[in-house]
Chain A
Amino acid sequence: MPELEDLTPEMKAAIGAEVGPPAVWEVTTQGIRTFARAVGYTNPVYYDAAAARAKGHRDLLAPPGFYGMPIYDPAGPANESNSSGADWENVFPRRLNGGTEVIPEQDVYAGDILEARTRVTSLALRASRMGQMLVREAETVYTRTSDGAIVGRIVNTGLRY
């Protein structure tokens, strides 16, 4: 891959732009329980709707940072290659996760329908011991579609190299 002197025009144009169309999905009981198990939660409010209601929740509660996940499109491209992403970022074939910030705003429950909008907030080139890296910061805002309330935000820093 070429060492870039500066961000390409395509990269500069991507800053501030939304990434793809907004995604809409349902937060499912199965999704909540799988996430809770993977992270190692034992609190029953994340596994048992009755336990959650006994604590004053309206349904099975999602652990902090869980906003459901996109529904897989069986006809879409397999999201398993090293180079998934826009053409301008696939200039760098490999990727790593650089950081996560979670700003919870409201509790999320099973059955909530959320809309996620992701926007690139910054791009920068950086030298690293694995070669030049493209550092991409993006903010995803999760909105509950039933009333338009923002339930949380995640800022992700992605590294391409």
Chain B
Amino acid sequence: MTQLTWDDVAEGQEISIVEETPSQRLVIWAAASGDFYQIHYDDSIANENKLPGIIVHGALKGMLVGRLLDEWIGDEGRIVRWGVSYRAMDRARLPITVWGRVTRKYEDGGRALLDLDVGVKQQDGTTETTPGTATVELPRRA
């Protein structure tokens, strides 16, 4: 794949991926992260905790935003930082859209940088559960 360069990107540009959240995937995440809290794989325990059913791990949503950025910037790009807030729950078994939008394109100390708004949206298109921001560095066009 051709390496994305800073010069290729415009403010306002949008990126996204759609991810499935079956219970099996949440169990794989539990193993990967060491978070075995049952509200992510046991509906009855989720209900006891005032939840409508099992929910997607916040940290998995955060790391999906990291993957969105990582796949977009390619091997020569670098993530400076990203952060998200888990404002609302995403019920498991429903697809989610992980998205980003470039808000600022600038240079700082010789580095070619982009700021983005990022987040996770439910498929009804209205509920924004996981808002955040990110900064990435890209190579300049040769």
Contact = CB atoms under 8 A, between A and B. Distances in A.
A34 B28 contact: yes
Given A65-B62, A65-B66, A38 B81 contact: no
Size category of the binding interface on chain A:
35 or more
A39 B50 contact: no
Most buried by B among A35, A40, A45, A70: A40
A101 B66 CA distance: 10
Interface string B30-45: 0111101110000000
A106 to B, nearest CB: 10
Contact of A63 (B34, B70, B78): B70
Given A97-B57, A98-B85, A64 B33 contact: no
B31 A38 contact: yes
B59 A94 contact: no
Interface in A72-107: 72, 79-80, 82, 94-104
Given A96-B58, A97-B59, A69 B34 contact: yes
Nearest to B49: A94
Contacts of A97: 57-59, 86
Interface in A24-54: 31, 34-35, 37-41, 43, 45
B60 A39 contact: yes
B63 interface: yes
Given A80-B38, A97-B58, A102-B66, A45 B83 contact: no
B84 interface: yes
